[in-house]
Structure 1
Amino acid sequence: MRTLLLSALLLTAGTVQAEGSLELNERGYFSMPGLDVTVFADIYPDGHQSGVTVIQHGVRTAANGDVRLETSPGQWSPVPTGVGEAHVDEKNQRISQTLAYPDESKNRKGFNPIEYPDLNFSYQVHVEPLEGASFKVTVDLSQPLPDAWIGKVGFNFELFPGDLFGKSYVMDSSAGIFTNQPNGPMIKHKGEWLAEPLATGKTLTVAPEDDAQRMVIEQLKGGRLELWDGRTNHNNGWFIVRSLIPAGASRNAIEWVVTPNVIDDWQYKPVIQVSQLGYGVNLPKTAVIEQDSNDTKASKVQLLKLGSSGAELVQESSPKPWGSFLRYHYLQYDFSEVREPGMYQIAYRGQKSQPFKIGLDVYSRHAWQPTLEYFLPVQMCHMRVNEKYRVWHDKCHHDDALMAPVDYNHIDGYISGASTLTKFKPGQPVAGLNKGGWHDAGDYDLRVESQIGTTWLLAMMVEEFGLDYDATSIDQQKQLVEIHQPDGKNDALQQIEHGLLTVLGGYQALGRLYRGIIVPTKRQYVMLGDAAAQTDNLVYHPSLEPGEIKEGRSGTPDDRWVFTEQNPTRELRVAAGLAAASRVMADYSPELSQQALGAAEGIFTQAFGKSDDTAARAFVLAELILTTGKQSYIDALTNMKSAIVADIDNTAWAIGRVMTVIDNQEFVAAVHQAVVEQQKHVRAQAAETPYGVPYKPHIWGAGWGIQDFGVKQYFVHKSWPDIASSDIYVNALNFVLGVHPGSNTNSFASGVGSKSALVAYGVNRADWSYIPGGVISGTALIRPDLPELKEWPFFWQQTEYVMGGGATNYMFLALAVEALERRAGAEPSANSD
């Protein structure tokens, strides 16, 4: 019955199995047109990037095929460690990876410590191609599992949910639909509540109706396949196909055959990558066309102008071949000569780009403004944030904060030593921390580097571009924010004030900088929704008995913890940001300005001699020189000549702004020559990709790093315009706005451009929503060569917002390119409209 049902479904779908078979390619994975199978080529199982992975018709449909200790693992679940690199056996067409539990580098230590059980074993996962598109997965254990672990350890294979919603599955004689939300009934399974399996059996067919995604998974030996919905216990879970490792099994403990369907003669369709926002009249304009690696021919490109009669052909020309990058072939189409304002599209081989604008006013509205109008206000901590009828979040975290425990490794990268480094004892309330700050995007914590990073960037926008914009009311006394209700004050200065309130509040209360402020428990940490629900907003006094009241307030022990650290390099970077903020706040709030400068100089005195980080030392000296003009700071900087030149990649951007006040010509000449060489390296890096910027993501998408790179290039160009090109920071902005690799050409800036990231990893991610002006991490690299940006709110490595750079670096670049366009002959900026 099962065979007849499956055959009928396949015939109805009209499948034609592609000719040829999977074979090892020169990149070390199995490949054929329309299908790639990688085996432990990636490094991030926590983010669903590792194990046995299927890329079907250019789309990653399944991943993380590996042995796991839980049916539905989460972010802090035990993961194995690879023992050496995967062994690629070209002769026998086989890839094998040895792995083991536990991973001692993560076992109760590291940035996200994991609690491993008392279980030690090693195993191998083997993958080998069969006929056509089929491949076999085999798991060999070094020895059978202990009896206590039978029924708990299995081979998991994860199916990406976002492309399966509404599609069907068939398991033997049963069938069903992949639902948009996880549904019960719930069962107690191995100690946790899960929805009961969607299906069990010997053969699973995924999406039988979809030729591009159909996949058949068959269990060869005894036992059965189980199909689970991993979202019932983790919002970011995937659909999971699982087989348990049987008692006494070692060799061939798991044997599967997986057959993804492949469409005959499939080829990756060309993708046209343009800025979704548009281009200035006077600036370079280059679109990138991404084609199948075997498709190296160029067709004509058409530039269309949009008007009342539809699309009018403006230009037809041949794009310039660029060459191979990652897994694709690239072409470039330069249309810089087109200067007539209007709306345009690019057409190529039946594909069309999104509409984009060419104009003098591209950045005057709807560009950087959403970041200042929406994203920064929404992220404000300790405030109620209203947008007309909507409440983004209520007053929150007014019980900040209790002194963190000592000798403690928190779940999210906060580590305390043997002392609190302050007069406060662990668990003691620290007053003065319940003001200012921005939630760190996908989380609700306040990291000092993100707070000062945001503050510094805003100060630079005021200083460099005269940013003066008012669309928001911010009342620190009432702790109330009203979006789209101007109050007659510069929003940028009000946001800088908000950043200073948290950094200086911590410095004044603790006698030093805080490392960060974060909730104590995992349950609080993973909470999504209104920030006001994370704590009860009442200060907890651990010395009191339940029901007692002190100063009219008594809460539960849900208060956030404040951590401190000994980190002179980070302290110097904070001091630099404080010095910069003190300059731009001098007229707006003289008292706060003086407090910021006093703290900056005090921190500098304490930390400068303790840090050997040249970049941080140069940065703080440059900002203090700009703020105070003191000769002692100038002398300290010039005395660092050798170190600065040796680290010119990380120092040039910071010190360029003070070169005009330095009389030491030997220092000036040495730095100048170093910048000449450094820019040769920068241009070489930019030329490694068709995008004019380096693209080398690690775990997170490269967008944030490219933005940071662009901001620094702006400062180098400003200081040495005859050496450093402005093209690179223009390219960095265009990369964020859509000129980036992969089939998803979304603008990384939510709500900016004709097509943007409208499903993002913010605090509202469970609603599949976005915050305008937030900027996601962007296109990630699925190793070894797949650029990927999925529409999925639970990929922090692709769609997360972040404070301290992500959104404000983008905002800075948009203002910088707006200023560049204006200098090239554009109309006056509309900043102050």
Structure 2
Amino acid sequence: MKYFIYSFLFLASFTAISQTDSLGFHLNNLEYLEKNGANVMLAHDFYPESHQGGVGIIQNGLRVATNGDLRLQPTPGQWQPVPKVGTREIDQKTETISVRMQYPDSSKNRKGFNPIIYPDLEFSYTLKVKPAGKESFKIVVDLDRPLPKEWVGKVGMNIELFPGNLFGKSYYADNEFGIFNRQANGPGHTTKKGEYRLKPIAEAKTISIAPETPNLNLIIENLGGSKLQLLDGRAEHNNGWFIIRSLVPANKTKNAIEWLVTPKTEKSYTYDPVVQVSQVGYHSNQQKIAVIETDKKAKAESIDLYRVMQNGKSKLIKQETPQIWGDFLRYRYYQFDFSEIQEAGIYLIKYKDFKTSPFQISKTIYERDVWQPTLEYFLPEQMCHMRVNDRYKVWHGRCHLDDARMAPIDTNHFDGYLQGPETLTSYNPGEHVPNLNHGGWHDAGDYDLRIESQSQTVQGLARIYELFDIQYDNTTIDQKTQTVEILRPDGKADLLQQIEHGLLSIMGGYQSLGRFYRGIIVPTKRQYVLLGDPVNHSDNEVYDYRTLPDIPMGQKGAPDDRWVFTEKNKERSLQAAAALATSGRVMKNYNDTLARQALTIAKEEWERNASNPGIGTIELATELYHSTKYKKFLDYIIQHKSFIQQNFQETGWIVLSIYSMIPDRNFKEFLKTNSLSFLETVKEQGSKTPYGVPYEPDIWGAGWGIQNFGMKQYFFHAAFPQEFPSSYLLNALNFILGAHPGVNTSSFTSGVGSRSITQAYGPNRGEHSYVPGGIGSGTALIRPDFPELLEWPYLWQQTEYVLGGGTTDYLFLVIAANHLLKE
């Protein structure tokens, strides 16, 4: 009887799904339009500067279009006006989704983290999407008032098409046609303001994209009076996309824009299953669970584990039906546990038509080729103030040797630096600050030196060296000649040399400024967007503001030296001081001068900032107690145990790093009790996904956060190995290495694993290339439910490299995993 009822319900459900699929676009309970094989989102995301927001289209499992909205430029880039987004409204009767928008956005107009300069234009409008017929939907814009006359011909409806899908594909523009080029081509012209403007690729009432490729064919028809323009946004901005645009007509409000959009879909579209495993593989003693991501309508089928033999044949090792985990995001998930397989070798998994890349099982899996590329390629390549040689290649020359000039007061820099009404130092605005032309790492794609990225990198490396005694040496670093030779050992531990390099920048700034710098960055956008060798940022000549012409900084002809910013920020100062207290310990007997100076500065910052408890003060007290064994620091920690308890997720792991050094039994019991209570939170977080880790990204990929989550688990497990499992640390590592949502199962660490991110937002993104060992932010969430990791180097929210924990947490995870699994 139960079987009969289940079968009946399944058939009824299947019939309902089939009928819904045949009806065309409809509104679902997540507030977007869907039909079988296509989804249309409106304002679930708003990150237009990185191609995420407005009207977006997912077609046959790929995000093909985004940023459908009114814009003031034909091919807008970063720091250009974007509308203020209102609340999304739903009309259930007509299945219309709408959102109120307006220019300017007062929260971004000349203020905020990335200030935007808006023109003198105020207007508001309603942007709508609604079903139209069996295959199409409409994009409609209603203006509150007609555009001012001077803005007619300048404001238009844009939608951006992802270039990575289209290279080599064709288009039709009415009866004209062509091929999408891999590079941006002319002709173009320069405006009176010196801005480049590209001639449209085509103009037509109807544009058909990729008509020869059924799963990509997208047809857009302008139902209004003007023609659609097909533009190549890459002609103005390297990170641009292809754009379809039509101008808002004069004297019109209702249906000022009306497009009919038809994304062609497969009538019987079903998401093809994906098997997600670590692209590196697994330690023989490690739990091994493959995650199978399927369409929600799909039933589980048999899954096969093969061992690849030397003769080229594959031997079936295990076959079973995977266990259902449940629904997550827009998919149904199953798990295949093959933990009992311990024999060393090369393996792969096959499920239906999907076959994984080969992966290893071995007791030495994490001893080579997993963490080393980050230490021997990525960190050296990111080193500022050095020439970085790599056999026949030069990654970059000796850059920024003219660092740095004191930033001008009352400055809101375009990349988030604020200099207040004073310099907070003895230096005048524009004056050269000495001791800043040594050490530090470029903060991945941006080349600046933020204090938090510098200090976190130093501290992370120091923790790794201290805990695991990594003596690995495969890099020559010469601070006297400011030269690096990658893959050339020099008899010194690379970790110690890298820690020293970071300290030279942090402490050089402190000794000159009398405080930590906020950051060091180029003054102009033209310098900031540089792709290529950062030696071209400046002439490497120190500018003397007292003897040379006083041209305002940032203007044409002004000096090109970078600016150094300062700030009053207690938490950042405490964090930097904690990093010095940690790294000072490991510098002993390697660079005793730096070791003494680091500890001295850490103590000075303690005296300045330790009056009130906070995460920073707890961390600094912990590191100072570890370094000095002074009772007053431990007393401070115990005195503020109520704060530690209230913030245990952030503070518990920090204090547990000295657990074995604490003589107070009552306090140790306090830490254990709270750790076991926190374990219940960790279990709850891990149970929310089939990967055993929390995955709740906002706009950016969650990889760095998951690495950080895993790194912290080590300290709980090390203190309480019987109670606190190591599985969460290992789950985090597997997530980074390929066991994560979405069709792209690449390792987030470039060059690591059978498949990895090899187009990344790093310093060489202009070549669509990567830096070995760089760690991208990883799979992002196109809200509300679409995980995405595109093969594209310009999406910083998916593939950007960063310093700090984004780098060191990965190193820590791999080395800690190897340490724990060998025990």
TM-score normalised to structure 1 length:
0.94
1:336 is aligned to 2:325: no
> Residues 491-536 of structure 1: CA distance to partner in whole angstroms, max 9, x if unpaired?
1100000010000000101111000000000100010100100111
Determine the C-alpha separation between the residues in 1 that align with 2:454 and 2:350. 43
- AA aligned opposite 1:517: I
- Note the residue ranges of structure 2 that are not aligned, 5 or more in a row: 1-19, 552-556
CA contact 1:79–1:103 (8 Å) conserved in 2: yes
In structure 2, the residue matched to 1:551 is none
Q: 2:95, 2:53 → 1: CA distance?
A: 20
Please give the per-residue CA displacement for 1:609-667, whole angstroms capped at 9, x wherever unaligned.
Answer: 2x55x221211111111111000101111110111111101111100022333344443
Q: Distance in 2 between matches of 1:669 and 1:291?
A: 46
Shift of 1:175: 0.6
Is 1:385–2:388 an aligned residue pair? yes
Q: CA deviation at 1:721?
A: 2.0
Which aligned pairs between 1:230-379 and structure 2 lie closer than 5 A? 230-295=233-298, 297-309=299-311, 310-379=313-382
Which residue number in structure 1 is paired with residue 564 of structure 2?
562
The equivalent residue for 2:739 is 739
Q: Once the 2 structures are TM-superposed, how far is the Cα of residue 307 of structure 1 from its aligned partner?
A: 1.1
Q: Which residue of 2 aligns with 1:102?
A: 104
Matched, 1:699 2:699: yes
Q: 2:326 touches 2:334 (CA, 8 Å); kept in 1?
A: yes
Residues 73-120 of structure 1: CA distance to partner in whole angstroms, max 9, x if unpaired? 11101000112x211112211101110011111111111000011111
Q: Deviations over 1:516-565 (max 9, x none)?
A: 000000100010100100111001112223699xxxxxx96100000011
| Equivalences for residues 381-530 of structure 1 within 5 A | 381-530=384-533
Shift of 1:18: 7.9
Contact 1:652/1:675 (CA < 8 Å) preserved in 2?
yes
Q: 1:189 & 1:61 partners in 2: Cα distance?
A: 31
Check conservation: 2:656, 2:671, Cα contact below 8 A. no
Which whole-Å CA distance do the structure 1 matches of 2:47 and 2:212 have between them?
31
Give the alignment partner of residue 82 of structure 1, picking from 81, 85, 89: 85
Aligned partner of residue 42 in structure 1, secondary structure: strand
Paired residues of 1:747 and 1:753 also in contact (CA < 8 A) = yes
2: CA distance, partners of 1:467 / 1:658: 20
1:708 alignment partner AA: N
Q: Note if contact 1:695-1:702 (Cα within 8 Å) is conserved in structure 2.
A: yes
Structure 1 residue identity aligned to 2:446: D
Residue 775 in 1 paired to residue 772 in 2? Answer: no
**Other structure's SS at 1:721 match:** coil
Question: Whole-Å Cα distance in 1 between the matches of residues 317 and 663 of structure 2?
Answer: 54
Q: Which residue of 2 aligns with 1:683?
A: 683
Aligned residue for 1:803?
803
Equivalence for 1:3: none
More moved, 792-801 vs 20-29: 20-29
**Whole-angstrom distance in 2 between the partners of 1:169 and 1:202:** 13
- Cα RMSD for the two superposed structures: 1.4
Structure 2: how far apart are the matches of 1:815 and 1:689? 25
Match for 2:653: what amino acid? W
SS of residue paired to 2:44: coil
Residue 32 (str. 1) matches residue 67 (str. 2): no
Alpha-carbon distance in 1 for matches of 2:783, 2:651:
32
- Cα distance in 1 between the residues matched to 2:192 and 2:563: 33
Flag the 1:111–1:568 CA change in 2: closer, same or farther, 3 A. Answer: same
Query: How far did residue 27 of structure 1 move?
Result: 1.1
Task: Classify 1:356/1:491 alpha carbon distance in 2 versus 1 (closer, same or farther; 3 Å).
Answer: same
CA contact (8 A) 1:648 1:678 kept: yes
3-state SS of paired residue (1:41): strand
Q: Is the 8 Å Cα contact of residues 21 and 35 (structure 2) preserved in structure 1?
A: no
Alignment check: 8 A CA contact 2:762 2:770 kept: yes
Q: Is the 8 A contact 2:45 2:699 kept in 1?
A: no
Decide whether the 8 Å contact of 1:538 with 1:556 is kept in 2.
no
Alignment match, 2:11:
none
Cα shift at 1:428: 0.4
Alpha-carbon distance change, 546 to 44 in structure 1, aligned in 2, over 3 angstroms: closer
Among all aligned residue pairs of Structure 1 and Structure 2, give the percentage whose two residues are the same amino acid.
52
Residue 146 (1) aligns with residue 141 (2) = no
Q: For the residues of structure 1 that align with 2:539 and 2:330, how far apart are their CA atoms?
A: 51
Aligned to 1:816: 816
Greater shift in the superposed pair: 814-823 or 202-211: 814-823
User: Normalising by the residue count of structure 2, what TM-score does the alignment of the two structures yield?
Assistant: 0.95
The one-letter amino acid of 1:804's match is G
- State the alpha-carbon separation in 1 of the partners of residues 657 and 78 from structure 2: 43
Shift of 1:232: 0.7
Question: In structure 2, how many angstroms separate the alpha carbons of the residues matched to 1:723 and 1:547?
Answer: 65
Runs of 4+ in 1 over 6 A off after TM superposition: none
Query: Which residue of structure 1 aligns with residue 630 of structure 2?
Result: 630
CA distance in 1, matches of 2:660, 2:474: 37
Secondary structure of 1:331's counterpart equals strand
Q: Is the Cα contact below 8 Å between 1:18 and 1:263 reproduced in 2?
A: no
Measure how far apart 1:60 and its partner are. 0.3
Shift in Å, 1:43: 2.3
- 3-state DSSP of counterpart to 1:539: coil
**Contact 1:540 1:556 (8 Å CA) reproduced:** no
Give yes or no for contact 1:568–1:608 (8 Å, CA) kept in 2: no
Count of aligned pairs between the two proteins: 797
Report the AA paired with residue 568 of structure 1. Answer: K
Q: CA deviation at 1:318?
A: 1.5
616-625 or 683-692: bigger deviation: 616-625
Q: How far apart in 1 are the matches of 2:359 and 2:423?
A: 54
Match for residue 552 of structure 1? none
**Residues 416 and 475 of structure 1, relative CA distance in 2, 3 Å threshold:** same
Query: Does the aligned pair in 2 maintain the 1:18–1:132 contact within 8 Å?
Result: no
Q: Residue by residue, what CA displacement relative to the aligned partner does 1:434-474 show, whole Å, maximum 9, x if unpaired?
A: 00000000111000111111111111111111111110100
Q: Distance in 2 between matches of 1:689 and 1:356?
A: 23
Q: Return the offset for 1:699.
A: 2.0
Aligned to 1:766: 766
Q: Give the secondary structure class of the aligned counterpart of 1:426.
A: coil
| Cα distance in 1 between the residues matched to 2:574 and 2:549 | 43
How far did residue 482 of structure 1 move?
A: 0.4
* Match in the other structure for 1:11: none
Q: CA deviation at 1:133?
A: 2.0
- The corresponding residue for 1:5 is none
- Give the aligned partner of residue 723 of structure 1: 723
Query: Which AA in structure 1 matches 2:61?
Result: G
CA distance, structure 2, for counterparts of residue 751 and residue 673 of structure 1: 42
Q: Report SS of the residue matched to 2:503.
A: helix
Give the match for residue 8 of structure 1: none
Q: Give 5+ residue unaligned stretches, structure 1.
A: 1-16, 549-554, 824-833
Please give the alpha-carbon distance, in whole angstroms, between the structure 2 residues aligned to 1:278 and 1:538. Answer: 49
C-alpha separation between the residues in 2 aligned to 1:67 and 1:52?
A: 11
CA distance in 1, matches of 2:271, 2:339: 28
CA distances 1:663-714 after superposition (whole Å, capped 9, x unpaired):
4444333332222211100110011000000001122100001001111111
1:591 Cα deviation after fit: 1.2
Partner of 2:218: 215
* Alpha carbons 1:536, 1:556 under 8 Å: kept: no
Contact 1:416 1:564 in 2 (8 A): yes
- Distance in 2 separating the partners of 1:286 and 1:81: 44
In the other structure, the counterpart of 2:785 is 785
1:20 to partner: Cα distance: 3.2
Q: Report what 2:595 is aligned to.
A: 593
